[in-house]
Amino acid sequence: APLYVTNWNQFKSDLNLAKQMGIQGISVDVWWGNVEGEKDNQFDFSYYDQVFAAIKAADLEIIPIMSFHQCGGNVGDDYNVYLPNWIWTKYEGQSIRGEKLSSENLKYKSSQGNYSSEYIALWADEVVKNEYIDFMNAFEDHYGEMYREDIEEINISGGPSGELRYPSYNSHDKDTGYPSKGAMQCYSDLAQVDFRTAMLEKYKSLEGINRAWNCNLTNINEVTPPMDGDYFFYNNGSHSYYESQYGKDLLAWYNGALVTHGKNMLTYAETAFDEELDHIKLGIKIPGVHWQMASDTTPRAAEVCAGIINSDFSESNGYGYNPILKMISSFNGRVVLHFTCLEMNDYAGNNTSTPKTLVAYVGDSAAKLGVEIKGENALSGGNDAAYFWNNIEEAVSKHHYNGVTILRLRDVVEGQSYNYYKRLIETYRPSEETDTVNVNFKVKNAQTYWGQNVYIVGSIKALGEWNVDKAVILTPTKYSEWEVSIGDIPAYITFEFKFIKKDASGTVIWESGNNHVYTTGGDGGTFISTWQ
């Protein structure tokens, strides 16, 4: 949807065209600064009442984004809304790990010494978490009963632009945008205290840190992020950021703090959406930081500064993305990952930029860990070009992306883009008239105790859409073997599922390992699993 609707007739017309194309739903930024901007715990959803009513009237699904970030100042922003002003002073004087909170400590501070107010710094999560939960509780209270059957997924903002990242290439700093490596954002007092604490936990003492880093620090306050400018990234052929133990430790902490923040935000959402919306999947987005990937001097440095990878770029570590992917996987199928830049070609505009390669890296790595992944284009516009849609189709057909979001509605309901998008939908999304099939599921060696049963739950309606309360029970056919035949599964689709055990009290034990992935044919089929 538009960042903010001003032309309602145009919006409603575009929604009807979207429905005709076969588009499933519309994602909508629900701006924290708009809803709770005036006063703490005073919520005004009146604008979204109009937006959601228009989407439902067009028979489309709603995908709200809990937008805890600023709008304005980033590429494609044509609207401005800021974080609630009261948030910066509400917690003044409180302490985290001995540091008193101020408005500055709630913000990211960069290596250039600048502060970003686009998103609350993750090191303050433990203090401000109730602000996030209160906002999402208010959303459920207001819309849960009304739209529980119309909301397809709820996305959770994890940083600037709604992405799980640091503001490493944002406007508060100079000369850090594309195609530069950006600037690290861990220089606030709160961030540095957290880094020192993490290093003391790992190495037990300053002496242990000196041994590991081969240095001679004399005071724990000398344990800091790099103060040597760009030398940390490149100095006469050396790359401290991924070659030195100091660099590896710093990036493990920097990336790890971001991963923990992502887990926090998703956990807050699970806590808040505990009634009418507790069955709905959650989504979180990371950006396609595709520049500097092929750099000879600072490879992957832009992703490093954004915090989305650590210093291990190997395929076995998901090219750096496994920490985020494993965190998402820990939610047992409840969380969908969204990734950007699906439309772009490698080396288009910059010889260090390889977005198409990156899309493959992340999609393939997500699939290996059983993480459901969807994609979107990085920039609105350019939708009438054949390469734009060919690249998206390649991501879907070859790299496991099973959903697509396009920026923005106005860009796809007219021109050649309309035809390209409609064709993509017709190719990959089964129509309502698609034949359904039966699939037989058999589990061998699923050891259970008295009163415990085996169920199957998965990503499609017939398998409860990951809601364990709607999981389908299997029948024991002989000792340690269980099976069930499930109908009404669309033919020729790919879906994911897992087996679970539940006892009489409702306690759930998930099958370990990755999600099962199964593609139906025209005659259904049989899936056999061994669960020991």
HEC string for 454-506: EEEEECCHHHHHHCHHHCEECEEEECCEEEEEEEEEECCCEEEEEEEEECCCC
Stretch 387-410: mean pLDDT:
95
For tokens 């303050």, the residue is 124
Segment among 58-67, 123-132, 356-365, 484-493 with least mean pLDDT: 484-493
At a CB cut-off of 8 Å and minimum separation 6, what does 499 contact?
A: 443, 446, 454, 455, 456, 474, 511, 529, 531
* DSSP state letters, 55-81: HHHTT-EEEEEEE-S-BSSSTT----B
Helix (H) or strand (E) holding 352: none
Which percentage of the chain shows pLDDT scores above 70?
98
Express each pLDDT in 368-389 by its tens digit. Answer: 998 999 999 998 888 999 999 9
DSSP states along 207-225: HHHHHHHT----SGGG--S
Phi, psi (deg, nearest 5) at residue 91: -105, 15
Question: Which residues, other chains included, contact 201 with Cβ-Cβ below 8 Å and sequence gap of 6+?
Answer: none
What share of the chain in percent tops pLDDT 90?
81
* pLDDT for 119: 98
Residue 406 corresponds to which tokens in the numbers above? 């396009």
Q: Which of 72-81, 144-153, 260-269, 387-396 has the lowest mean pLDDT?
A: 72-81
Pick from 316, 372, 370, 369: nearest CA to 339 = 372
- The secondary structure of residue 344, as a DSSP letter, is P
Structure-derived torsion over alpha carbons of residues 412, 414, 418, 420, reported in degrees to the nearest 10:
-90
The answer to whether 373 touches 353, Cβ cutoff 8 Å, is: no
The torsion of the CA quartet 76, 340, 352, 254, rounded to 10 degrees, works out to: 100
- In the predicted model, what is the mean pLDDT of the chain? 94
Q: How far apart are CA 306 and CA 303, in angstroms?
A: 5
Side-chain half-sphere exposure of 142, counting CA atoms within 13 A? 17
Give which of 260, 253, 33 is closest to 125, Cα–Cα.
260
- Catalytic, out of 118, 140, 152, 163: 163
Mean per-residue pLDDT, 189-213: 98
Query: CA-based angle 459:461:462, to the nearest 5?
Result: 100
Distance CA 311, CA 347 (A): 23
Encoded amino acid at 210, one letter: N
Q: What is the pLDDT of residue 479?
A: 74
166 phi/psi in degrees, rounded to 5: -90, 160
Segment 255-259 shows an average pLDDT of 98
Does 431 have pLDDT greater than 70?
no
pLDDT at 307: 98
Taking the C-alpha atoms of residue 137 and residue 121, their distance in angstroms, rounded to an integer, is 22
Write the pLDDT tens digit of every residue in 471-493. 999 998 877 889 999 988 888 77
Angle between helices 355-368 and 322-329 (to 10 degrees): 40
- HSE-CB for 47 with a 13 A CA cutoff: 17
Active site residue 376: yes
Q: Give the pLDDT mean for 30-43.
A: 98
Q: How far apart are CA 515 and CA 278, in angstroms?
A: 21
Q: Considering 140, 153, 376, 496, which one is annotated as catalytic? A: 376
CA distances from 341 to 319, 378, 494, 505 (A): 17, 4, 23, 45
- pLDDT of 127 over the 90 cut: yes
Nearest of 209, 226, 227 to residue 218 by alpha carbon: 209
Q: Please, which residues bridge with residue 405 across strands?
A: 376
Residue 294, φ and ψ in degrees, nearest 5: -100, 20
Under 8 Å CB-to-CB from 368, ≥6 apart: which residues? 318, 514
- Run of H or E including 436: strand 436-444
- Calpha distance 499→490 (Å, rounded): 20
Q: Which amino acid is it at 134?
A: D
Number of other CB atoms surrounding residue 12 within 10 Å: 14
Q: Residue 434's pLDDT is what?
A: 57
Question: Residue 407's closest CA among 66, 180, 74, 20?
Answer: 74
CA-to-CA dists, residue 348 to 286, 299, 306, 358, angstroms: 21, 17, 21, 14
Query: For 216, what's the count of Cα atoms within 13 Å in the CB-facing half-sphere?
Result: 0
Q: How far is CA 403 from CA 333, 363, 443, in A?
A: 15, 12, 29
